[in-house]
């Protein structure tokens, strides 16, 4: 039987997240010698080395990764228990961990704001990353919920539709196509494009749609944010493909036009996901229901 303390498992998890003993000590508000001693005791209890140092960074061994994976499951269960106990006391507080794809930042804060109005003691951890970053956190079971437009097929998960995410073709107001009322998809073949980076959900959906249409657009720039794409397109560097959520209600205010290209927008949708088999905490379940209700209202009035 492996005898380990809750604190030792917290320290090893912090080590996995920070990559150094010093940073783990800082994150857990203990001294570095205390972290080293407790991790050494945990390694002895397991009977295998849990981490190794390469240069200035610390990396988990296979055994260490197994321990951290189980620890995260245990922490999630413990937090869920605390929330259920709090509900019996008539309280409404706890921690909600979310990882969202970067384009979701245009609507998730508003959804969170309304949720926090009814859960004023809620502690939120929000990670905003590109799709690959969110999938990596999902693979490590690091959060309660994940919001993506392109869910990973390689990870068993549950998911619910949140909101439509149409991807539109944009151009600067001065572009010749901006004055057109109808544009054939083939017309795009001769244009330069400013696209999101490989690994983003927008890029994946766009590439798949272009392939279905038999198009291979000429990519002039690949950029890591929607704002950079918009600025480049407004500056006349090429056309762009972007989520409608990333644009203001009147795109002309940003120097942009949505082009009326046939067979566009690209159909896409946001989903809230969690790993299959993971029991949602009361707060996470309440937030899923909140997303469904609020998103349904937005789509009804859009």
Distance CA 3, CA 172 (A): 63
Mean pLDDT of 113-125: 83
What is the pLDDT confidence band of residue 3, given thresholds at 50, 70 and 90?
confident
Mean pLDDT of 89-102: 76
* Residue 291: predicted pLDDT: 87
Question: Residue 278: which of 128, 148, 139 has the closest Cα?
Answer: 139
Q: What residues have CB less than 8 Å from 179, skipping those under 6 apart?
A: none
* Residue 263: predicted pLDDT: 96
Mean pLDDT of 32-56: 88
Quick: pLDDT tens for 126-139: 999 989 999 999 99
* Residue 89: predicted pLDDT: 53
* Residue 76: predicted pLDDT: 83
Contact 55, 70 (CB under 8 A): no
Mean pLDDT of 50-59: 85
pLDDT at 20 over 60: yes
pLDDT at 302 over 50: no
H or E element in which residue 63 lies = helix 62-88
| Residue found under tokens 């859960």 | 119
What is the pLDDT confidence band of residue 273, given thresholds at 50, 70 and 90?
very high
Mean pLDDT of 93-109: 86
What is the pLDDT confidence band of residue 300, given thresholds at 50, 70 and 90?
very low
Mean pLDDT, rounded, of the chain: 88
Topology of domain 6-66 in CATH is: Arc Repressor Mutant, subunit A (1.10.10)
pLDDT at 34 over 80: yes
* Residue 114: predicted pLDDT: 84
Structure tokens, 52: 């190794």
In the chain, % of residues over pLDDT 90: 47
Establish how many alpha carbons lie within 13 A of residue 297's alpha carbon, considering only the half-sphere containing its beta carbon: 6
Distance CA 219, CA 210 (A): 12
* Residue 92: predicted pLDDT: 58
Contact 284, 160 (CB under 8 A): no
Rounded to two decimals, the pTM is: 0.68
* Residue 301: predicted pLDDT: 43
pLDDT at 83 over 90: no
pLDDT at 5 over 80: yes
Mean pLDDT of 236-240: 95
pLDDT at 90 over 80: no
Topology of domain 92-164+269-300 in CATH is: D-Maltodextrin-Binding Protein; domain 2 (3.40.190)
Task: Return the bridge partners of 126, or none.
Answer: 98
* Residue 258: predicted pLDDT: 96
- Residue 263 per-residue DSSP state: T
Residues of the chain with CATH 1.10.10.10: 6-66
Task: Return the bridge partners of 185, or none.
Answer: none
Class of the 167-258 domain? alpha beta
Distance CA 294, CA 291 (A): 5
Quick: pLDDT tens for 180-218: 999 999 999 999 999 999 988 899 999 999 999 999 989
pLDDT at 234 over 90: yes
Residues of the chain with CATH 3.40.190.10: 92-164+269-300, 167-258
Mean pLDDT of 146-173: 92
């Amino acid at each position: 039987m492996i005898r380990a303390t809750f604190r030792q498992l917290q320290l090893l998890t912090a080590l996995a997240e920070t990559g150094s003993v010093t940073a783990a000590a800082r994150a857990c508000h203990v001294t570095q010698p205390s972290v080293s001693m407790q991790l050494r005791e945990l390694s002895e209890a397991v009977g295998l080395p849990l981490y190794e140092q390469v240069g200035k960074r610390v990396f988990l061994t296979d055994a260490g990764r197994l321990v951290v994976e189980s620890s995260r499951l245990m922490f999630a269960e413990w937090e869920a228990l605390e929330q259920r106990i709090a509900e019996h006391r008539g309280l409404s507080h706890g921690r909600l961990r979310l990882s969202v794809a970067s384009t979701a930042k245009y609507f998730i804060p508003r959804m969170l704001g309304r949720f926090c109005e009814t859960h004023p003691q809620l502690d939120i951890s929000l990670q905003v990353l590109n799709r690959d970053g969110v999938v990596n956190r999902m693979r490590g079971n690091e959060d309660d919920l994940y919001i993506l437009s392109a869910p990973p097929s390689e990870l068993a998960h549950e998911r619910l539709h949140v909101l439509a995410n149409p991807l539109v073709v944009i151009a600067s107001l001065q572009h010749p196509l901006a004055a057109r009322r109808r544009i054939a998809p083939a017309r795009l073949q001769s244009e330069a494009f400013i696209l999101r980076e490989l690994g983003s959900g927008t890029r994946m959906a766009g590439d798949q749609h272009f392939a279905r249409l038999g198009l291979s657009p000429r990519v002039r720039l690949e950029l890591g944010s929607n704002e950079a794409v918009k600025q480049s397109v407004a500056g006349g560097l090429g056309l762009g493909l972007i989520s409608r959520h990333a644009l203001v209600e009147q795109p002309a205010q940003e120097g942009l036009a949505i082009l009326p290209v046939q067979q566009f927008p690209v159909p896409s949708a946001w989903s809230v996901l969690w790993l299959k088999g993971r029991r949602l905490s009361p707060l996470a379940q309440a937030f899923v229901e909140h997303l469904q209700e609020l998103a349904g209202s937005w789509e009804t009035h859009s």
